[in-house]
Structure 1
Amino acid sequence: MIKKAENIIVGISIGDLNGIGSEVILKTFEDSRMLELCTPVIFANVKSLSFVKKTFESTSMLQGIDRLNQIVLGKINVLNVWQESVEVKFGVNDEKIGKYAIKSFVAATKALKEGLIDVLVTAPINKYNIQSEDFKFPGHTDYLDQELEGNALMMMVQDNLRVGLLTDHIPLNEVASHLTEELIIKKIETVKHSLIRDFSVNKPKIAVLGLNPHCGDGGVIGKEDDEIIKPALKKLFDKGTLVFGPFAADGFFGSNQFEKYDAIVATYHDQGLIPFKTLSFGKGVNYTAGLDKIRTSPDHGTAYDIAGKGIADYNSFKEAVYLAIDIYNSRNQYAEISQKPLKTKEKQI
């Protein structure tokens, strides 16, 4: 059964309260039309959010709740994940604040896993101050990959520009050792399935960027492109996946080749994210593809340098909400179509 728009429950983890996350969340939902698209549930504390609201003179009306069965549709719900007062100091890297960011995120992930919210949008965290004995993950994606079914893949999205990553948050000097034929095939199959199910692309065309300059120039500048990437792509292509490459990364975006494909797969983090963020003009979204649940986030960090000044751009966060809803609807349509038997023409006698 397809939910009505305003009944789609968008869970939101608060992120680092000393950063710009709470500001962009409140700015996003100051537009009452957003509440016609979904019902937000912010995992935090209503007192903490009220402080932020007062700081920015936000007009958003907050509905404090203590349990998820108290959600009020069409309102900005704030689930009290903690009860104690939290001192917010904008722009300060604080381990205590990091712990509250993880409390919010873990609670929101649990709700997503149990189906109590429909999608999850995560505000930015500080990867340094979230580390503890209980949480030893480099970021959101790795924790979600552990907690949810599927194979997590980082995909950056802005309209029809979609950039997936073979490797994400690992040191540059470890990228080559992580690239295997098995990994490449698994990640590209994840991208293909996501394009079909999440973005309604029937026959996706996927481009893959090479690891080395000029894809190794025949082995002169590295052999990984010829010995690992090309054989993996051939296996996929021979089985019917429309995958092309590897392409030399330096000219791929500048020559507008990316416009010919439904997704581009980069071999490492900066190879994909630098051109993506240059082209997305502050409206990019980080989507965790490959999981049984939906999670998006803005494509920026905590931005301590401008936190508390009221000047943060909220467009990326708003786009993250839009994309989460779009993917939720796309998955429902995909499931509905998949369950319907194909009609066959009656034989003529």
Structure 2
Amino acid sequence: MTTPDKKIRVAISVGDANGIGYEIIVKTLLDKNILDFFTPVIFGSTKHLSQYKDLLNDNSLQFFGINSAEQAVDRKINVVNLWKEPAKLEFGNPTETSGKYAYESLKAAAESVQNGVCDVLVTAPINKKNIQSENFNFPGHTEYLGEVWKGKPLMFLVTEMLKVSLVTQHIPLKDVAQKINKENITEKVEALHQSLKVDFGVRKPKIAVLGLNPHSGDNGLLGSEEQEIIMPAIQSLYEKGMLVFGPYAADSFFTSSNIETFDAVLGMYHDQALIPFKTLCFEEGVNYTASLPFVRTSPDHGTAYDIAGKGIADETSFKEAVFTAIEIFKNRTEYAELTQNVLKTREIKLERESR
């Protein structure tokens, strides 16, 4: 755990070994100055990492193999070797073994943060299908971490320019409408509001809420959810003192002026918010799992099997994920310090004049 004389320790899970996870990790760590900012603790295999170092024709990286995260050393690229004789990489091919490795890496990395050995978690992309097993029966990282870290996770895609979140996450489109209710919207906005304050230092967040239907329902012509559910939820939140506005038509919302006006946008379902986000911010976008007791971020892309092993993957989003996790950790620490030492008011009793 971080102390004044220690750097923030970043636990890194390697994702699907046959995707681009190892490559974007290695490329991120090629920056010679990066160890000035944090101490990486990778949960995977030095042999796999060395294969990617050879692939990129760069021998400048030195990996420090350790048996447990407790042995991590500052200014070194620490690697907890989970597999002594790892399976051969099969670039671009999601296998049962690569799914098993992805789970084991995620489990060990998440536990290191939960146990206080590491400070934040950054996850490389997984394949949501081949990772499934008796131990992992979740739609993705978000739901898994909500279970093991004991919280109600909020999927939050962030850049400095644009931040978006969702009422519903990884569910089929046909199930979205029945999951939209006043309670869900209220819960997500409150979580979003709290994250903006605590994690990003926004004193008075302004949040835009999108409608569910085309043209935000067109006054009931194209659907009633806006009038019956979304607007009452927004009104109740506004009455609590939150700056929440909408519902806005999703197809015309993402203009530069709207993006500048609001601190975050809440969409009703996955593609409604993530398509514009990834179109506008793909390279620097970060997937942040808010509303959990610990910090987890990831790049905003997948395993990219089509380019795995070719040495052409762009590490920008992963690098942004690392530095976003560090920034959020510092913001949370500062917020906790500021709020736990608030001076308590006490009643002053006036002395009665003597007669």
What's the TM-score, normalizing by structure 2? 0.94
TM superposition shift of 1:6: 5.9
1-structure distance, mates of 2:151, 2:241: 22
1-structure distance, mates of 2:57, 2:6: 26
- Structure 2 contact 9–119 (Cα < 8 Å) conserved: yes
Q: Secondary structure at the match of 2:232?
A: helix
- Structure 2 contact 161–259 (Cα < 8 Å) conserved: no
- Structure 1 contact 151–190 (Cα < 8 Å) conserved: no
1:200-349 to 2 correspondences below 5 Å: 200-254=201-255, 256-342=257-343
What's the TM-score, normalizing by structure 1? 0.96
TM superposition shift of 1:31: 0.7
Residue 15 of structure 2 corresponds to 15
- Note if 1:121 corresponds to 2:122: yes
TM superposition shift of 1:52: 2.3
Runs (4 or more) in structure 1 with deviation over 3 Å come to 1-6
Deviations 1:142-189 (A, max 9, x none): 000111133201110111311011111111111111111111111110
Aligned residues: 348
TM superposition shift of 1:214: 1.1
Unpaired stretches in structure 1, ≥5 consecutive residues: none
Residue 187 of structure 1 corresponds to 188
- Structure 1 contact 41–77 (Cα < 8 Å) conserved: yes
- Structure 1 contact 205–262 (Cα < 8 Å) conserved: yes
Q: Secondary structure at the match of 2:138?
A: coil
1-structure distance, mates of 2:145, 2:233: 27
RMSD: 1.9
1:63-142 to 2 correspondences below 5 Å: 63-142=64-143
2-structure distance, mates of 1:89, 1:72: 31
1-structure distance, mates of 2:149, 2:86: 31
2-structure distance, mates of 1:2, 1:86: 34
1-structure distance, mates of 2:190, 2:61: 42
1-structure distance, mates of 2:5, 2:177: 44
Q: Which has the larger radius of gyration?
A: 2
TM superposition shift of 1:72: 1.0
Moved more, 294-303 or 215-224: 215-224
Q: Secondary structure at the match of 2:163?
A: strand
Deviations 1:113-138 (A, max 9, x none): 11111000000011111111221111
Paired amino acid for 2:52? V
Q: Secondary structure at the match of 2:84?
A: coil
TM superposition shift of 1:343: 8.7
The structure-2 alpha-carbon separation of the partners of 1:281 and 1:301, relative to structure 1 and needing over 3 Å to count, comes to closer
Q: Secondary structure at the match of 2:110?
A: helix
Percent of aligned pairs sharing the same letter: 54
Residue 45 of structure 2 corresponds to 45
Paired amino acid for 2:12? I
Unpaired stretches in structure 2, ≥5 consecutive residues: 351-355
The structure-2 alpha-carbon separation of the partners of 1:281 and 1:141, relative to structure 1 and needing over 3 Å to count, comes to closer
- Note if 1:198 corresponds to 2:199: yes
Residue 33 of structure 1 corresponds to 33
- Structure 2 contact 15–105 (Cα < 8 Å) conserved: yes
TM superposition shift of 1:51: 2.0
- Structure 2 contact 2–8 (Cα < 8 Å) conserved: no
The structure-2 alpha-carbon separation of the partners of 1:7 and 1:233, relative to structure 1 and needing over 3 Å to count, comes to same
1-structure distance, mates of 2:190, 2:68: 38
2-structure distance, mates of 1:134, 1:195: 33
Q: Secondary structure at the match of 2:103?
A: helix
- Structure 2 contact 295–328 (Cα < 8 Å) conserved: yes
Paired amino acid for 2:45? N
TM superposition shift of 1:2: 7.2
The structure-2 alpha-carbon separation of the partners of 1:128 and 1:99, relative to structure 1 and needing over 3 Å to count, comes to same
2-structure distance, mates of 1:6, 1:29: 19
2-structure distance, mates of 1:272, 1:74: 39
The structure-2 alpha-carbon separation of the partners of 1:2 and 1:62, relative to structure 1 and needing over 3 Å to count, comes to closer
Paired amino acid for 2:115? E
Q: Secondary structure at the match of 2:318?
A: helix
